[in-house]
Amino acid sequence: MLARLIAYVGTLALLAIVGVHLWDRLPDIADPGPAAQAGWSAASRSHPAFAISQIDSPDKTETYEVLRHPAGGRKDVLRWGPAGVWPLAELEIYRFGAEMGQSDPVTAELAARMGVQSPSDLEAAGVIDSKFGHVTLLRPADGARSCLGFFRRIDEPGLQISGWSCQSETVPARRAAISCMLNRLVLLTAANDPKLVELFAPAELRRSACTSATSAVSADWVTAAQNPLLRGRL
């Protein structure tokens, strides 16, 4: 009887130890990072496929990260800003794989990357022009952060360009900074994807020089800093 009692108490102690260990690990299990939740993983051996030409901010460091999905998707992520603090700008080029149908809407993903709690906290902020066409802008509705998000989805070759920028002090200047960033985006390698080459080759012909915030605002009233509110019905 004594031996059975000792074995019983030992079993309870072992279960308690295992329970405490699992409890300590619970936050890590319940709240993995966004990339882990979606099945994305860092591909440290992958070479950069894109670059931003003519960087004119030597005081800002640039980081480049490649994420891959088992279903074939790839994300090239560029970030700029002083080391050790929240980046001032981010640019992501997402080439779709079979996982595309299971991914979150672009507004939900962009809100998380911008540090906004919910996609409903983002509101439309007009459009800008770029060598890839018109790009949709979003901003935090509460105005807590003076940042602009942006995205452009291209069906062929199945690609999405998105990101955000907190550079400059005014909205027109931030819009001009995003437009300049996109116009300076260049392709380094297509990895045997001719459709990607077909996208960037004609886009380079539409590439315009980076302009000041003032000239960018006055260039086109449709894509001006404060997009007009049309009166009456269309």
Q: Is residue 110 part of a domain?
A: yes
How far apart, in whole angstroms, are the C-alpha atoms of residue 153 and residue 155? 7
Looking at per-residue pLDDT, the higher value among 109 and 227 belongs to 109
* Per-residue model confidence (pLDDT) at position 28: 36
Q: Is residue 57 part of a domain?
A: yes
Q: Is residue 27 part of a domain?
A: no
Report the mean per-residue pLDDT for the chain.
78
Q: Is residue 125 part of a domain?
A: yes
Looking at per-residue pLDDT, the higher value among 37 and 15 belongs to 15
Q: What is the dihedral of CA 113, 51, 88, 172, to 10 degrees?
A: -100
Of residues 39, 171, 215, the one with CA closest to residue 150: 171
pLDDT digits (tens, 9 = 90+) for 76-130: 999 998 877 888 899 999 999 988 876 678 899 999 998 888 888 899 999 999 9
Q: Is residue 232 part of a domain?
A: no
- Kindly report the pTM of this predicted structure: 0.72
* Per-residue model confidence (pLDDT) at position 68: 95
Q: Is residue 30 part of a domain?
A: no
Sign of CA dihedral 85, 86, 87, 90: positive
* Per-residue model confidence (pLDDT) at position 143: 67
114, 164 Cβ separation under 8 angstroms: yes
**Domain total of the chain:** 1
Express as a percent the part of the chain with pLDDT over 70. Answer: 73
137, 114 Cβ separation under 8 angstroms: no
* Per-residue model confidence (pLDDT) at position 162: 96
Question: Is pLDDT at 213 greater than 70 in this prediction?
Answer: no
* Per-residue model confidence (pLDDT) at position 57: 52
Q: Is residue 156 part of a domain?
A: yes
Average confidence (pLDDT) over 189-209: 89
Question: Is pLDDT at 218 greater than 80 in this prediction?
Answer: no
In which domain, by residue range, is 178 found? 39-219
Q: Is residue 15 part of a domain?
A: no
Question: Is pLDDT at 41 greater than 90 in this prediction?
Answer: yes
How far apart, in whole angstroms, are the C-alpha atoms of residue 180 and residue 184? 6
HEC per residue, the chain? CHHHHHHHHHHHHHHHHHHHHHHHHHHHHHCCCHHHHCCCEECCCCCCCEEECCCCCCCCEEEEEEEECCCCCEEEEEEEECCCCCCCEEEEEEECCHHHHHCCCHHHHHHHHHCCCCHHHEEEEEEEEECCEEEEEEEECCCCCCCEEEEEEECCCCEEEEEEECCCCCHHHHHHHHHHHHHCEEECCCCCCHHHHHHHHHHHHCCCCCCCHHHHHHHCCCCCCCCCCCCCCC
Looking at per-residue pLDDT, the higher value among 5 and 215 belongs to 5
